[in-house]
Amino acid sequence: MLNLNTRPRFEFDHVLAITTFLLAVFGLVMISSVSVYESYQVYVKQGIDCGAISANCNDFYFWRQARNIAVALPFWIIASSIPYLFWRKLAPPLFVGSIVLLIMLFIPGLSTSYGTSQSWLAIPILNSIQPVELAKLGLIFYLARWMEGRRDAIATLENGFTPFAVILGIIAILLILQPDFGGTLVVTLIATGIYYAAGARPKHILVGGLIAAILAVLAVNVLGLDYVKNRFTAFLDPSLDPEGIGFQVKQSLIAVGKGGFFGAGMEGATQRFGYLPEAQSDAIYAATAEAFGFFGSVILAGLFLLVAYRGFKIASKAPDRFGQLAAVGLSCAIAGQAFIHIGVNIAMLPYTGITLPLVSYGGSSMVASFISAGILLNISKYSNTNSSSFYRENNPRRRI
């Protein structure tokens, strides 16, 4: 029988909570500065007379991001309050639902495109959503549930690697067809992180990565994805076409270089005036490097390292295997995507349009990032020594 007198205090990870909030606030401040030019262009296209004395045409993205954060915060609070095993029950329908949403992107009239990718669903009232953000969560919980009871089987080829590759392949193929190279990369990183934490053999991961690379090259050639080839070309040598395929990479490197050690300051940064495309979203780390220099950009990267450290620590102390694997996946979803974004911005990875979680402009990304952080916080409530012991004693079937 439950002894309420010995019930421990379930306290969440305050460091992770504060870091999450600080990243969102920092992103809002950065967007208020780096989106000035883009905001002006939007207002002009809307027919607003920006030359009028009373006109303020610099804050379009700022207010929209403020709205995104306001919408995401309740999701954060709810996700941190709901016992994380709720997501175990919801895993199958959430995974299937995310696949359905990804398939809907290929139905004429339902999807909207931006640049080279058709990755948004046009939803009345909500404007548009990115199904890939829901797919990340669906994949995390489905893999965590599927792998929790297969500790020995995970290391085998037929019962571990093969079904894992099929599950990941379903999502990856739907993303490649959009095409969404960045989303495919992030989803693959998340799934591989969970797979490795579950006990996969490194050689299976290496062989799987090699097979995936070969299939990716074939897909690029068969589907005629010339833009992917161009991005790899620009990655290898941005100077080949600095005004074309290498423009984004070149301008990102210019922003990083101009920042020096301490930065040019938010007022002194000039790349935001139309030189650095998507400075408020895909290139916000480069914009940060210009404004705050090497010093500031390292601090920003350090905050995501802190998120990774706290997330993996939560995973290591989770009271059951589902909580462990889910925490690994959620940590990869935030920190892993962050370092892909950073790698792209400093030309260590081929360019792909991918947001910096909690910092970049974007509604779907913001909501998904806050939900991920909230679920991590809930798992952390059960991850201290006393609460873990209490949980296991009163949930004997859920022991690791």
Residue 271 host element (H or E): none
The pLDDT of residue 304 is 97
Tokens of 364: 């779907």
Q: How confident is the model at residue 106 (pLDDT cuts 50, 70, 90)?
A: confident
The pLDDT of residue 82 is 93
Q: pLDDT at residue 130 above 80?
A: yes
Q: Is 199 left (phi over 0), alpha (psi -120 to 50) or beta?
A: left
Q: Which of 4-13, 75-84, 237-246 has the lowest mean pLDDT?
A: 4-13
Q: pLDDT at residue 224 above 70?
A: no
pLDDT tens for each residue of 329-357: 999 999 999 999 999 999 888 888 889 99
pLDDT tens for each residue of 362-373: 889 999 999 999
pLDDT tens for each residue of 131-155: 999 999 999 999 999 999 888 889 8
The pLDDT of residue 8 is 54
DSSP class of residue 119 equals E
Q: Is 118 left (phi over 0), alpha (psi -120 to 50) or beta?
A: beta
Do 311 and 327 meet the contact criterion of CB atoms below 8 Å apart?
A: yes
| 269 or 313, greater pLDDT | 313
What are the structural domain ranges in the chain?
A: 4-398
The pLDDT of residue 54 is 56
Q: How confident is the model at residue 52 (pLDDT cuts 50, 70, 90)?
A: low
Q: Which of 91-100, 103-112, 114-123, 280-289 has the lowest mean pLDDT?
A: 114-123
Average pLDDT for the chain = 85
The pLDDT of residue 81 is 93
The pLDDT of residue 55 is 60
User: Cα separation of 28 and 362, whole Å?
Assistant: 11
Do 317 and 388 meet the contact criterion of CB atoms below 8 Å apart?
A: yes
Q: Which of 118-122, 203-207, 389-393 has the lowest mean pLDDT?
A: 389-393
The pLDDT of residue 2 is 40
